[in-house]
Structure formats: structure tokens, C-alpha cells
Chain A
Amino acid sequence: MNGAPPVAASGLLFNSAPLHALVLGLVVVSLCMGVAAWSIWYERKFAARMQNRPGPTEVGPWGLLQPIADGLKMLQKEDIVPAAVDRPLFELAPLLVVVASLGTLAVIPWGDGLVIADLHIGVLFALALSSLMLLPVWMAGWASNNKYALLGGMRAIAQGVSYEIPLLLAATVPIVLAGSFRLGDIVEAQAGLRWFALWPPGPGAVAFVLFFMASLAEANRIPFDIPEAESELVAGVTVEYTGMKFGMFYLAEYLHTLIASAIAATLFLGGWDMGPLGAGVHWMVLKTLVLFAVIFWIRWSWLRLRADQLMALSWRWLVPLGLVLVMASATWVVLA
């Protein structure tokens, strides 16, 4: 994964465009799944260091093989399907939740031309798919025939839709500034370190914070993790899932967080471009991982909000703030 891609020249890895897309898709999807799996190790170490304890140490050096051990363990677990569940929805939900989070990967530009599909509706595609993740989560809660799961599912949808609006509004700011809907164009508009998070001063920075907050809520991370709030709802929607199906929800959660970080890095932090320091995949990966680490940091230092406080926060403050930001950035474009 290093710098100056030979890809950029022709834009294709192979002579055939479908083959290029297929191989790139395989590589990106496998890499992201690997990163998501190892980020669980990383988060456990990170949290352990914050809490005066060593974290995983047993499997491999520094416990690095822990995700493999976890995966193997999950494979051997019995897949318990409780009686009285809605069988088709119950089986389908863990698959869909992973598929919905991986589908978003298709439009994220990792480097110049290094994107599976550079759609001209890229931003909206990513946001629409990430909001679609709510449906399988709700399906899981409803199909489980369990009150805790159902409450978790209802909370997941209520919270997800509440924060979808600030997310959409905050994403409008880079679109107004860049004048394009294509993620690649948005990165190019930020060339030369004119990141939208820094420039224009004011709306950009606030929009970045708003987007990041809403992404946390969409990915159900603390302080917005009420759908699975284990101290209240035990494990929320995943309470009846065991073995690999539970693992899929877990994986999807980390994938979603990773993808949210990547989108935030693309929209607000200049994507693969790093101004005078050059451009390349490594900058995009670095920015994504830094945002990822910030999410962990927040998770292990904050408490959880209450469901109603969470929604009131969104509707009372974040939605009008998002509207004001859109108008402010538009005014800035007129004046500039």
C-alpha cells in the first residue's frame, strides 16, 4: 500500500474494465474486513492502555493473532436459533447488515482513480446505503421475538433516522463548496491542503464536527450507542444471536465505523491528497485510521446519553445548526 500508484496513469489495473473492478473490489473488501477485524484488537489494546491494564497478550506477539482466535472460536460456536423467531428475517439480518456496510465501500476513493465505482452521485449513494443499514438492524430486533431486542431495534431506527438529517445536512457543506457530487471531485477541490474542515474557517469546521458526531450516531458508537446499550438492553438487537451471526453484527459495526471515518476523511480532510507532502493511498489510509482512533478514544472516555436526550439533541440543535451551516457556506461561496 505505498504511494504513487501505477494505477493512476491508465486508471485500470488490467486491460479489461470489469476485471479491474472485480479485482479492486475483492482487494478493497478483503482489506477492509481485515482492518475491521484487527481494529478490534487495536481497540482492545487502546482501551486497555487507557485503563491501566495490558489487554490481549496471549495469542501471538502482543496478542496480535487475537482476531483470528476470536474468529475460529466463533466458527465453532453453536448457532442457536431460539424458538418463536421469525426465521427468514432472523437469518437474513446478519447477512444484510454486513452487505449494507460493505456496499458503501464501492464509492470511497482510496487514491486517484483507486475507486471501485466513482459515481456522480457518490455522496448520496454512500449516505443512502449507510441509512439502509437501519433496516436489517430493525429486522434483527423484530425477528428475535425478544423485548430487549425489539426495544433495541426501535431505538436503532429512531436514533438512526434522527441523526440521518444532520448527517445529510453536514455533507451538503462540502458539496456546496466543491460544486460536485462526485467524491473524487470533492477530494480534488480540497487539493493543496484547503481541507473543508479548515477552510472556509467557521462553517467547514463546524460541519466536520457535526458530520463526525452524526456518523458516530449512525455507527452506534458511544455516546450514541443506545440501541445495544448493554447495561440497559443487555445487548439490544443482538441479544438472541450466537456464534458467527453475532460476529457478523460485530464486524458490521466496526466496518461501519471504518467507513464512516473514510467518508469523513474524504469529505472534510482532503482524502488521498496531502498538498506539498504528495498524494497517495497512504494518506487516505492514515487519515481514516486517525479518525478511527479518535472514535475509540471517545468511546472509552465518554458515558452514554439517554435515548430521549439523544433525539432531542438532534432535532432541537443539530438540525437547525445544519440548516444554518448550509446557508452560511452558500453565502461564503457567493462572497468569495
Chain B
Amino acid sequence: MRMPLDLLLPSWPDPHLDLGEYDPEADLVALNMGPQHPSTHGVLRVKLYLDGETVVKAVPYVGYLHRGVEKLCEKLTYVQITPIVDKNDYVSPMMNEWAVNAAFEALLGVEPPPRAQYMRTIFAEIQRIASHLISIGTWGLDMGGAIGGGATVFLYCLRERELILDLFEEVTGCRFHYNTHTVGGMRHDLPAGWDKRAKAVLDRISARTWEYERFLLDNPICRQRAEGIAVVDPTLAMELGVSGPILRASGVDYDMRRDAPYGAYGDIDIQVPVRTEGDALARALVRIAEMRESARIASTLLDGVPEGPIGALKPVKLHGAVKLKDGEEGYAAIESPRGELGTYVVAARERRGAASPYRLKIRSPSYHAISLLPWLCPGHTLSDVVVIIGSIDPIMGEVDR
């Protein structure tokens, strides 16, 4: 059954091509793409209705990676939640940590000290680079195959990402699910000399972003596959709540870091890359430009990391430091690599000395991006669908939660 989209979006027509001339039983082929498919970026399932190889209708189904994270958080204390939400957007765990902890801080009325704010911002920007590297690399896999030129692109992207994971490992001891943010600040301080090593890595990466740009722009096959594919209408995207690189590639100049500064973004001038083409290639180019900009932001901030404490609250004092009443709420949003990642939290009274949220809701950008698929896929071929999915870069961990 199809979702009554016209109820949700009165101003938008049915996304599917006109089915008038088709006898769906005889002429259209229904094909499940996913959940177990190599290029649906995890377990996204798109049910495609094909005429030959042309997609007439595409219906995305989500929920195959549902782990009940939000429900689970209602049974965990605020400190215990951080390592759980790490697994949501598993390509950029730092962002998940920051988003929930910022919401908790809004709820508790705690302000992290400046050093923690700077660390968070720097980590976030470095994480953004790592995340975009994966995005470009897996997009290459979608276009070129895991046994072909695409794998070469992917492994070159991983080469740079390794450097970033080394940096994070040095600070947190983990290469991936860091658990380094906590309510009111950070858990691990920067080791001595880390800033120099980080700057060296960032210089290296920003010098190499041209490789990816040339890979996209100088490669006729890539241009043929991506140019003019799946043009996102900015109005539609805004109505669906899409944000991040997809929106910026469609000409909407919106970036939380500049337009609603948080962390240490207020202290720095941010150039937001915007393109107007709105196609798959533009989205990738925006991501590459963002990688370069992120490297610049992180390098600049690394010069000015203030001294001081890294946490506002001592972890042992967290319980009971602030008394929460039923129904108090907090919301915070950050600009994750995929767009606006928000956390909404409603407090519950302490029970047996432990405070847990009454309700925690994560607003994940990938979920909104996936809602674009019914509009983007029709009219393109089956081969384009993987390019489209790759270009909107959904992370099923945060879609299904």
C-alpha cells in the first residue's frame, strides 16, 4: 500500500510516473532492490516497478536495521546513552555523540567549557571529512563495482580516512565508536602534540581533495553517469525536511554551522559551498568542497584551542547535580555530514537515584533524504538508482535507529 503522500504534501503531485497507459500486471516488473543488496548502503529496501529497465515507480521501505535505540535510551542514564547512539550514524559517530549530549546539556542547562567546545568542533570537522570520504568512495563502488575501478576509488578514500581514525584513536583509544563526548564536556583531553599531527594530516587531506575532484570532473564515464541524474527540486527538498549537502547542492544556502552557530563555530568565518545544479554530481562536488572547508576550519580552530577544563560536571556528580522534573524538555541540533541531526529529549523524574529520559527522539537527516527517492527514481534506469542512492548517501543505522 502506498503512503497517502498527497495528504502530507498538498502542494506536490504524486511522484510516480503516470501509470495510465500501463497495465501494472502485464507490463511492469516489480523488483525488490534490497535489503540484501550490495549497493543500497546497508539494508535499505526499494521496491521498484520497472518498464524494461526504466523505473516507473519506486517505494522505499525502511526498518530493517531497527534496533529500538530510542526506546532503549528510556532505560539508560544520560551517561550511558552516548555509546549507544554512537552506532546510529555509524560513519560519523562523533556527530551522534555531540547531538545527544548537546540536547542533554540544553535540558540540564549546562554549558560545556570553551576547551570542550573547541575539541568538539574540531572532532566534528575531522569526522565530517572522514564521513564524506566514505560517501565519495562508496559512490565510486556504486558506479564502478566492487571488482573494478570503483574499488580503486574506494580504497584511495580509505587511505585518507585511516589517517583520521589514527588521530581519533590517539585521543580516545577507539578507532570508531569513541564514547568521548559526555554531558557537559569531553571525556578525554587532547594528548600533547596532537594538534601538530592533526594539522599535518589535515594539510595532507586538503591537498589531496583535488584527486577526488578530478576523479569526478575529468572522468567522462563518471560525468555521463552522474550529470543531470536525479535533480532535486529545492522546494520539494525543503518541504520534505531534507538538509545538508543535498539541499546545498540544489542551491539552498543553509548550514547550521553558520546560520545557527553552536560549539565553537561562532568564533570562525565559515564559507558554505553551494551549487545550483542539484544533480548527483553536484552533491558529490559539494561534499568535496566541504571536505576542503572542514580541513580549513579544523586547522584554524586548532591554533586557538583554549586551555582549561574539558568538562562542566564531574562524571560522578552528574546524578543529582541538577534535579529534573517530569516533562522538562530539551532540543539541540547540529550539522552532521548528512544534514541537520537533532535530538529531542523529555525528562522523567529520577527513579531509584538514576535519571533517564522519558522520551528521546532523534531527527536523522538520512531519513528525510530517503523520502526523496519516490521523486528521484522514476524516469531513470535501474543502473541510475544505485547512483541516486549513493548520491543521497543514506546511513541506515540512523534511518532505522
Q: Please pick, from A51, A53, A148, A232, the residue contacting B39 in the complex, using a CB distance under 8 A.
A: A232
Stretch at the interface among B57-65, B137-145, B364-372: B137-145
Contact B381 A231 (CB under 8 A): no
* A234 contact from B38, B140, B143, B147, Cβ within 8 A: B38
| Contacting pair A51 B31 (CB below 8 A) | no
Does B149 contact A222, Cβ atoms closer than 8 Å?
Answer: yes
Is the beta-carbon distance between B53 and A303 smaller than 8 angstroms? no
Q: List 28 A-B contacts (CB under 8 A).
A: A47-B151, A51-B152, A51-B155, A52-B156, A222-B149, A223-B221, A226-B383, A229-B145, A230-B38, A230-B145, A231-B143, A231-B146, A231-B150, A232-B385, A233-B382, A234-B37, A300-B149, A300-B151, A300-B152, A303-B144, A303-B148, A303-B149, A303-B222, A304-B150, A305-B225, A306-B381, A307-B381, A309-B224
Interface presence of B386 (CB below 8 A): yes
Q: Specify which chain A residues have a CB less than 8 angstroms from the CB of B39 in the assembled complex.
A: 231-232
Whether A303 touches B151, Cβ cut-off 8 Å, given contacts A229-B383, A232-B39, is no
Contact partner of A299 among B53, B148, B159, CB < 8 A? B148
Q: Which of A101-146 contact B (CB under 8 A)?
A: none
Check B225–A306 contact: CB distance below 8 A: yes
A51 touches B156 (CB 8 A): yes
Residue of B nearest to A306 (CB): B383
The A43-79 residues at the B interface (CB cut-off 8 A) are: 47, 50-53
Q: Which residues of A contact B382 (CB under 8 A)?
A: 151, 232-233
Give the total of A residues in contact with B, Cβ under 8 Å: 29
Asked whether B219 is an interface residue with its Cβ less than 8 Å from the other chain, the reply is yes
Residues of chain B from 28 to 60 with CB closer than 8 A to chain A in the complex: 29, 31, 37-39, 53
A222 B224 Cβ-Cβ under 8 A: no
Interface residues of A (CB under 8 A from B): 47, 50-53, 147-148, 151, 222-223, 225-226, 229-234, 299-309
- Tell which of A225, A230, A301, A303 touches B143, judged by Cβ atoms closer than 8 Å: A303
For A304, the chain B residues whose CB sits under 8 A away are 143-145, 148-150, 221, 225
Residue on B with the closest CB to A231?
Answer: B39
Of all chain B residues, the one with the shortest Cβ separation from A302 is B149
Number of A-B contacts (CB under 8 A): 94
Shortest CB distance A42–B (Å): 14
Contact of B221 with A302 in the complex, beta carbons under 8 Å = yes
Chain B residue contacts of A233, Cβ below 8 A: 382
Bound state CA distance, A50 and B155, in angstroms?
A: 10
Q: Counting CB contacts under 8 A, is B125 at the interface?
A: no
User: Which of B140, B145, B381 has the most chain A CB atoms closer than 10 A to its own CB?
Assistant: B145
State A303–B381 Cα separation when bound (angstroms). Answer: 17
Q: Which of B151-183 contact A (CB under 8 A)?
A: 151-152, 155-156, 159
Which residues B109-145 have CB closer than 8 A to chain A?
A: 140-145
Bound Cα distance A53, B140 (Å): 18
Given A301-B149, A303-B150, list of 12 further CB < 8 A pairs?
Answer: A52-B156, A52-B159, A222-B145, A231-B39, A231-B146, A231-B150, A232-B383, A234-B37, A299-B149, A301-B152, A304-B221, A309-B224
- Provide the bound-state CA to CA distance between A230 and B146, in Å: 7
CA distance A226 to B383 in the complex (A): 9
Residues of B close to A308: CB separation below 8 A: 53, 381
B279 contacts the other chain (Cβ, under 8 Å)? no
Smallest beta-carbon distance B388→chain A, Å: 12
B105 within 8 Å of A (CB atoms): no
Closest CB-CB distance, A164 to chain B, in whole Å? 21
B225 x A303 contact (CB < 8 A): yes
B38 touching A52, Cβ below 8 Å: no
Say which residue of A52, A222, A223 sits within 8 Å of B155 (CB atoms).
A52
- What residues of A have a CB within 8 angstroms of the CB of B29 in the complex? 147
Q: Which residues of chain B from 270 to 294 have any CB-CB distance to chain A below 8 Å in the complex? A: none
Q: Whose C-beta in chain A lies nearest to the C-beta of B144? A: A303
Q: Say whether A306 contacts B148, CB under 8 Å.
A: no
Measured in the bound complex, the distance between the Cα atoms of B39 and A53 in whole Å is: 23
User: 1/0 per position for B381-395, CB-CB distance to A under 8 A?
Assistant: 111111000000000
The 10 A-B residue pairs whose C-beta atoms are closest, nearest first, are A303-B144, A51-B155, A231-B39, A222-B148, A302-B149, A303-B221, A306-B383, A303-B143, A301-B149, A303-B149
Once the chains are docked, how many angstroms separate the CA of A47 from the CA of B151? Answer: 9
Closest to B149 in A: A302
Could you tell me which residues of chain B, from 177 to 213, have a CB within 8 Å of some CB in chain A? none
**B253-279 interface with A by 8 A CB criterion:** none
Complexed CA–CA distance, A1 and B145 (Å): 37
CB distance from A59 to the nearest CB of B (A): 20
> Smallest CB-CB separation from B40: which chain A residue?
A231
Query: What residue of chain A has the Cβ atom nearest to residue B154's Cβ?
Result: A51
B146: A residues at CB distance < 8 A: 230-231
Write the chain A residue with the least CB distance to B229.
A306
**When chains A and B are docked, how far (Å) is the Cα of A302 from the Cα of B37?**
22
Cβ distance A300 to chain B, nearest Cβ, rounded Å: 5
Smallest CB separation, B286 vs chain A (Å)? 20
Compute how far the CA of A148 lies from the CA of B34 in the bound complex, rounded to whole angstroms.
12
